[in-house]
């Protein structure tokens, strides 16, 4: 019997580091983000980075600079005994009419196939309601909004951009989000 994997689809800027609206040149992990990923690894929940990087299509960020940054982050995780199970990036702008720019489901659809994911028992964690929480709804996963990055703005001045949606949980940060996920997962498996 092949059992399906549970995954957490992690947003990058504003969730794992940075301010949420910054470009990635100065991006580095929040210290607690490494711990959060480590907790997922320990509990056999796949940690999958899913990020929109429209600056690539706009020509402000090269694919190589993005790849180099990911390599830097992977090394840092490795030094701390943690890892990503997958890294998926949408390089497009809205005008490119792709199917992968969050909240569209292209990236998650791909992960579900490639990594054999049980999407109903999986989670999207992010700081932007209109992309991360709406994505969770679009794929049928649970959505957790973090208050780092633009998370607080998502609940106030930008609430109208995802007003028909609710987060399943609102967490201070990604580590608290992961703790909630582990608690929820354990309750469901009893």
92 is a site residue for Zn ion (CB under 5 A): yes
11 is a site residue for Mg ion (CB under 5 A): yes
Q: Which residue's CB atom is positioned nearest to Mg ion?
A: 14
Question: Hey, which bits of 31-78 come out as E strands?
Answer: 46-52
- Is 96 marked as binding a ligand? no
Q: Which residue's CB atom is positioned nearest to Zn ion?
A: 98
- Is 160 marked as binding a ligand? no
* Strands laid side by side in the 7-10 sheet: 86-90, 46-52, 7-10, 123-126, 142-146, 169-171
- Count of residues that bind Mg ion according to CB under 5 A: 6
Distance from C-alpha of 93 to C-alpha of 75, rounded to nearest angstrom = 29
Distance from C-alpha of 36 to C-alpha of 24, rounded to nearest angstrom = 20
- Per partner kind, with CB cut-offs from 5 to 8 A, the member of Mg ion, Zn ion, none near residue 90 is Zn ion
- Is 85 marked as binding a ligand? no
Binder of Mg ion out of 5, 7, 8, 14 (CB under 5 A): 14
Measured from the CB atom, the residue of 5 and 13 that comes closer to Mg ion is 13
CA-angle at 171, arms to 168 and 177, nearest 5°: 85
Footprint on residues 77-136 left by Mg ion (CB under 5 A): 127-128
End-to-end CA distance of the chain: 20
């Amino acid at each position: 019997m092949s059992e399906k994997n549970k995954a957490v689809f992690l947003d990058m800027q504003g969730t794992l580091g940075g301010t949420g609206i910054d470009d990635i040149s100065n991006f580095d992990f929040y210290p607690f983000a490494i711990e959060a990923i480590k907790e997922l690894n320990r509990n056999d929940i796949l940690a999958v980075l899913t990020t929109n990087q429209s600056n690539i299509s706009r020509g402000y960020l090269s694919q190589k600079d993005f790849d180099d940054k990911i390599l830097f982050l992977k090394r840092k995780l490795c030094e701390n005994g943690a890892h990503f199970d997958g890294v998926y990036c949408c390089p497009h702008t809205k005008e490119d009419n792709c199917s992968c720019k969050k909240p569209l489901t292209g990236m998650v659809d791909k992960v579900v196939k490639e990594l054999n994911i049980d999407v109903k028992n999986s989670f999207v964690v992010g700081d932007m309601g209109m992309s991360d929480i709406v994505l969770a709804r679009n794929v049928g996963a649970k959505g957790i909004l973090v208050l780092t990055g633009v998370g607080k703005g998502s609940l106030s001045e930008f609430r109208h951009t995802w007003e028909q949606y609710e987060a399943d949980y609102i967490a201070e940060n990604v580590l608290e989000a992961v703790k909630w996920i582990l608690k929820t997962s354990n309750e469901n498996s009893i």
